[in-house]
Structure 1
Amino acid sequence: MKQKFDQEDVVLLGKETVFKGFFSLDVYRFKHKLFKGGWSDEVHREVFERGDAVVVLPYDPVTDEVVLIEQIRIPVLAKAKSPWMLELVAGMIEKGETAEGVAHRELAEEAGVTAKHMSKISSYFASPGGTSEKFEFFWAEIDASQAHGVHGLDHENEDIQVHVFSREQAFKFVNDGTINNASTVIGLQWLELNYLNLRKAK
């Protein structure tokens, strides 16, 4: 599909950082072309800036098992039955790092496993209505028998439990709502569409 508009159809009038800490909040002022023709009035939007990240799906195509991690996510405390979430491996991309390098590092730090093979699948925006954050999504071929224990960096106060599930069980967690975070849902849905090809390649 060829989209009607691109970056040439937006005029950025200004950008102001109104908060800067570990994350930052910017206010954008802009005008843009309209589907019905002409231009919009001046629009103001707050944008949560937190940088970009990788998300890694650790999958063992030999045993047909998925490695998931579990850790506390305090922002969901008031909105979920439990703030401990089952997730894929993920981490922020710091200045000077490559996405694939971060993917390998986070796989070791959070799950204690090493990728036999790492392949980028896609890039996607986490919540484009409010944040610029973009995820680089990889799948990693791993040996699931290596995955066990508690991991994470002490100086980042990480407390991460590693779990190994059959692919079928992991996807059931998506269907019944046990897994309720976007990157893990996206990753496991991709796996459900592609696992046969991954297993045939072994």
Structure 2
Amino acid sequence: MSDTFKPGTDDVQILQREQCFSGFYRLERLQLRHRLFSGEMGAQIERELFVRHDAVCVLPYDPRRDEVVLIEQFRTGALDKADNPWLIELVAGLIDKDEQPEEVARREAMEEAGLELGALWPVCRYFPSPGGSNEQVHLYVGRCDSEGAEGIFGLPEEGEDIKVHVWSVERALAAVRDGKIDNAASIIALQWLALNRDEVRGAWS
């Protein structure tokens, strides 16, 4: 293996790209080759790619009360693999073409939880499943006032039925530890908050 080889996009050859399905999401089939760590080009391989909009997830956090606002909703993807397909999650939404991630965070916080967010703290951007999807997630912690945050929200025309929960940070972290919160964005955001809580509270107090 060559120690000097540093792979990049120029080391991938797309030989054919076929659209297999197009709806709210899109499925493509790619024939491609990529350079190996030996420095040689590899053999042709076939991969299917789930193409979807990038997403924004935000954890509303009240630094004064040390509470987070989480939402609960039914998720089809958990139907066959979870005891309960109603998941505890972050506020989240997909990015439309002309939107900035921060705009999506604020819009979704109002639509899904009735919350007006203050400052947004960028946590990270990550690929939740890069082996088969091109989706990238923009993750934030958003300052909020959690007092009185409750109710059922969501857009009925989009089939949304969302329940708001206000939890102490300690309760939320315990839910991560016990496996009651089992989706990636929520786990990452809450673990990040656990590591950076003092800094965030200091900046937002």
TM-score range, shorter chain: over 0.9
Equivalent of residue 133 in structure 1, options 132, 135, 139:
135
- Separation in 1, partners of 2:149, 2:196: 22
Q: Secondary structure at the match of 1:48?
A: strand
Where in structure 2 are the equivalents of 1:57-68 lying within 5 Å? Answer: 57-68=59-70
1:104 pairs, out of 98, 106, 113, with: 106
Query: Taking structure 2 as the reference length, what is the TM-score of the superposition?
Result: 0.95
> What is the correspondence of 1:191-202 to structure 2 with a 5 Å cutoff?
191-201=193-203, 202=205
Does the Cα contact within 8 Å between 1:87 and 1:181 map onto a contact in 2? yes
Residue of structure 1 in register with 2:76 after alignment: 74
Q: In structure 2, give the amino acid aligned to 1:63.
A: R
Asked whether the 8 Å contact 2:123–2:189 carries over to 1, the reply is no
Q: Tell me the alpha carbon deviations over residues 67-93 of structure 1, each in whole angstroms, 9 at most, x when there is no partner.
A: 000000012111100000000000011
Deviations along 1:25-79, one digit per CA (max 9) or x if unpaired, are 0011111111123111011100011211100010011111010000000121111
Write the distance in 1 (CA, Å) between the matches of 2:195 and 2:79.
32
The one-letter amino acid of 1:119's match is W
Q: Is residue 92 from structure 1 mapped to residue 98 from structure 2 by the alignment? A: no
Q: Which runs of 5+ in 2 are unaligned?
A: none
In 2, the alpha carbon distance for the partners of 1:3 and 1:97 equals 37
**Gap regions ≥5 residues in structure 1:** none
Given that 1:12 and 1:29 are in contact with CA atoms closer than 8 Å, whether structure 2 keeps it comes out as yes
TM-score (norm 1): 0.96
Paired residues of 1:112 and 1:146 also in contact (CA < 8 A): no
Rounded to whole Å, the distance in 1 between the matches of 2:88 and 2:39 is: 46
Percent of pairs with identical residues: 47
Task: Work out which of the residue numbers 182, 189, 192 in structure 2 matches 1:190.
Answer: 192
